[in-house]
Structure 1
Amino acid sequence: METSERARLDAYFARVAKEFTPATVPSALLVTHLLAERPAFVNAVGKVANLRAVLPKPRSVHPPARREVEQTYPVDELSRGLFADPDTALAYLETRAAGEPVVLLDVGGYFAPSLDALCERFSGKLLGVVEDTENGHKRYAERGKLPCPVVSVARSPLKDPEDFLVGQSVVFSTEALLRGRGDILHGRPALVLGFGKLGSSIARLLHAKGVHVTVYDVDPVRRAQALSQGFSVARDRDGALHSAGLLLCATGSLSLRGEDFPELKNGAYVATVTSSEDELELAGLPDGYSKSSAGEHVTRYSTTGHYFYLLNGGNAVNFLHGASVGPFIFLVQAEIIAGVRVLARGGLEATLHEIPAIDRSTIAALWLHYYNNR
């Protein structure tokens, strides 16, 4: 990032932090993709909350960004296991913010499994959670009754540009890896699993590149939407797996079970938009498969009579090229910061919430001031 761009970003987040600093500042734990531009966002979170720890998503850490953040805030290792066990999660929270009012800033529902224990047994007070992703939104929604408020920005209209551009970056990275092996997208029928914001963006760009795209989603409403937009829609998911030369997994949950992999067409490529632990049941792959390198960031899985290729180890393929979506992501990051103030004010029921529309308008106006250059 150029010095002038970083200065503009810092100025933008300074305005955002000034606008949304709560009257009583809580403590916070922050899960985040620690990409190159992310320290500006982290610093803004540190202005609206006492930031007790930054937990970078393991496969999206830019080393210089981590070193910059570590100069000011504790940076801890993140794993699903850290918060899967309530006792482990509680012990960790006590080491970082014992006795304090705390907001958890989440990306992917990491805190969901232990939320009851954290609310009931923590020596401080858990004010609530701010969740960034559709995957995480579903994890909290599937819990049924929540023990504290969860503010989700996953379905905010300010996130639409980011979701669209993430889809574009997934296609870019997928094509780059195929071309690195001397292969191309054209002539390789694609199956997009999931037709939400990311899946629909992926399908549209593949179609624009001349790729025949078939879509499957568990939601019949989304299947109808895909059909209305001119895509082929698979009646039978399992049958669609047999004929696809490229699979893009964009469900935000489990896309391929272990028993699905042997059904893939020989030579099929598999890519995802999130972590392998969410989208792919690789541990359930039948015995007999071996893996070997088939090029940079391409793994070949093979057994007698069958083989397929996995891109970026099954993790979000677009992170290989920075996952950049330009300044539009700063809209959503500002919403996360606004979520801190919403929770710090209190008075919310223990259910899912959105950022108030007036706060979104404020964020959009600030963003336009800095990033609409015309």
Structure 2
Amino acid sequence: MESFEHARLVAYFGKLSNHFASTSQAASLLVTHLLPERPVFIQAVASLTRLRAVLPKPKSIHEGARFEVERTVAVDTLSRELFSEPDTALNYLESRAGGEDTVLLDVGGYFAPVLADLHERFSGRLLGVIEDTENGHRRYQNLEKLPCPVISVARSPLKDPEDFLVGQSVVFSTEAVMRGRGDILHGRPTLVIGFGKLGSSIARLLHAKGVRVTVFDVDPIRRTQALSQGFTVARDLEGALGTVGLVICATGALSLLGEHFSHLHNGAYVATVTSSEDELDLRGLPDVYTRATAGDHVTRYQTTGHYFYLVNGGNAVNFLHSASVGPFIFLVQAEILAGIRMLSRDDLAPGIHEVPGTDRAAIAATWLSYFNR
């Protein structure tokens, strides 16, 4: 990032931090992709909360950004295991924010499995959670009962530009990896699993490149949407897997179970838009498959008479090329700051909430003043 770009970003977040400042500050834990531009956003979070720790997503850590953040705040190791057992999660939360009013800033529903226990047993007060992704939104939505407010920015209109550009970066990175092995997209029919905001963006971009695209989604409404947009819609997943040379998983949930892999066409590539633990049941893959490196960021899985290629170990393919979506990511990050103010007021009932339209409009107007030049 050029120095003038960095200065503009600091000014943008400074203005919004002042706009969303609250009379009281809670402690916070922040899960985030620790990408090169992220320290400025982290500084904004620290200006609105007592930021106790940053938990970077394991597959998206830029070492320069990590070094910069570590100078002012603890950077801890994030894993699903850390927040899968109540006692382990509680011990960690106590070690970082014991006795304090605390907000949890999440990307992917990490806190969801233990939220009720943390809310009940934490020595401080858990004011709520802010969730950034559709996958995480569903994890919290599927809980039997939410013990505290969860503010979701996953379905915000301010996230639409990011989702579209993430779709572009997924297609770009997938094509780049394939070309590195001498393969191309054209002539390789593709199955997109999941026709949400990301999946539909990916399907349209592939179609624009002349790729024949089939869509599979468990939601019948989305299947009708895909049909209306001119895509072939698979009647069943297993049958579709055997007819394509590329599979892009874009559900944010388990797209492929262990038994599905044997249905893949020989030589098919599999790529995902999120982490392998969310999209793929690789542990369920039959033991008869062996693994071998087949090129940069490509693993070949093989057994007698069958083989397929997995891109980036099953993790988000676009992070191979920084997953950059330009300044549009700063819209959603600003909405997270608005969510912090909402939780700091401590007047929301348990349940899922959204940032008000007036706050979104203020964010958009501020963003345009800095980045529409």
TM range (shorter): over 0.9
Cα deviations by residue, 1:311-347 (Å, 9 ceiling, x for unpaired): 0000000000000000000000000111100011122
Between the aligned partners of 1:194 and 1:69, the Cα distance in structure 2 is 35
1:278 — aligned with what? 278
Between the aligned partners of 1:264 and 1:86, the Cα distance in structure 2 is 38
Amino acid at match of 2:160: D
Structure 2: runs of 5+ lacking an equivalent: none
1:193 — aligned with what? 193
Cα deviations by residue, 1:271-321 (Å, 9 ceiling, x for unpaired): 000000000000000121000011000000000000000000000000000
1:141 — aligned with what? 141
Q: Give the TM-score normalised by structure 1.
A: 0.99
Q: CA deviation at 1:21?
A: 1.3
1:247 — aligned with what? 247
Between the aligned partners of 1:60 and 1:364, the Cα distance in structure 2 is 27
2:158 — aligned with what? 158
Structure 1: runs of 5+ lacking an equivalent: none
Between the aligned partners of 1:125 and 1:230, the Cα distance in structure 2 is 51
Q: Give the TM-score normalised by structure 2.
A: 0.99
Q: CA deviation at 1:144?
A: 2.7
2:25 — aligned with what? 25
What is the DSSP-based 3-state SS (H/G/I as helix, E as strand, rest coil) of the residue aligned with 2:60?
A: strand
What is the DSSP-based 3-state SS (H/G/I as helix, E as strand, rest coil) of the residue aligned with 1:89?
A: helix
2:110 — aligned with what? 110
- Taking only the aligned residue pairs, the percentage that are identical comes to 71
In the alignment, structure 1 residue 3 sits paired with structure 2 residue 3: yes
1:165-180 to structure 2, matched below 5 A, reads: 165-180=165-180
In the alignment, structure 1 residue 337 sits paired with structure 2 residue 337: yes
Cα deviations by residue, 1:215-265 (Å, 9 ceiling, x for unpaired): 011100000001101111111221101111100000000000000001100
Between the aligned partners of 1:124 and 1:287, the Cα distance in structure 2 is 46
1:369 — aligned with what? 369
1:24-173 to structure 2, matched below 5 A, reads: 24-173=24-173
What is the DSSP-based 3-state SS (H/G/I as helix, E as strand, rest coil) of the residue aligned with 2:230?
A: coil
Amino acid at match of 1:283: R
Between the aligned partners of 1:73 and 1:9, the Cα distance in structure 2 is 20
What is the DSSP-based 3-state SS (H/G/I as helix, E as strand, rest coil) of the residue aligned with 1:243?
A: coil
Q: CA deviation at 1:210?
A: 0.5
Q: CA deviation at 1:57?
A: 0.2
2:328 — aligned with what? 328
2:261 — aligned with what? 261
What is the DSSP-based 3-state SS (H/G/I as helix, E as strand, rest coil) of the residue aligned with 1:21?
A: coil
Cα deviations by residue, 1:22-74 (Å, 9 ceiling, x for unpaired): 11011100000000000000000000000000000000000000000000110
Cα deviations by residue, 1:157-185 (Å, 9 ceiling, x for unpaired): 00000000000100000000000000000
What is the DSSP-based 3-state SS (H/G/I as helix, E as strand, rest coil) of the residue aligned with 2:242?
A: helix
Between the aligned partners of 1:235 and 1:117, the Cα distance in structure 2 is 41
**How many residues of Structure 1 are paired with residues of Structure 2 in the alignment?**
373
What is the DSSP-based 3-state SS (H/G/I as helix, E as strand, rest coil) of the residue aligned with 2:299?
A: strand
2:234 — aligned with what? 234
Between the aligned partners of 1:17 and 1:70, the Cα distance in structure 2 is 21
Between the aligned partners of 1:184 and 1:369, the Cα distance in structure 2 is 41
Amino acid at match of 1:75: V
1:312 — aligned with what? 312
In the alignment, structure 1 residue 184 sits paired with structure 2 residue 177: no
Runs of 4+ in 1 over 2 A off after TM superposition: none
What is the DSSP-based 3-state SS (H/G/I as helix, E as strand, rest coil) of the residue aligned with 1:294?
A: strand
2:15 — aligned with what? 15
Amino acid at match of 2:67: R
Amino acid at match of 1:132: D
2:202 — aligned with what? 202
1:303 — aligned with what? 303
Amino acid at match of 1:365: A
Between the aligned partners of 2:83 and 2:328, the Cα distance in structure 1 is 30
What is the DSSP-based 3-state SS (H/G/I as helix, E as strand, rest coil) of the residue aligned with 1:140?
A: helix
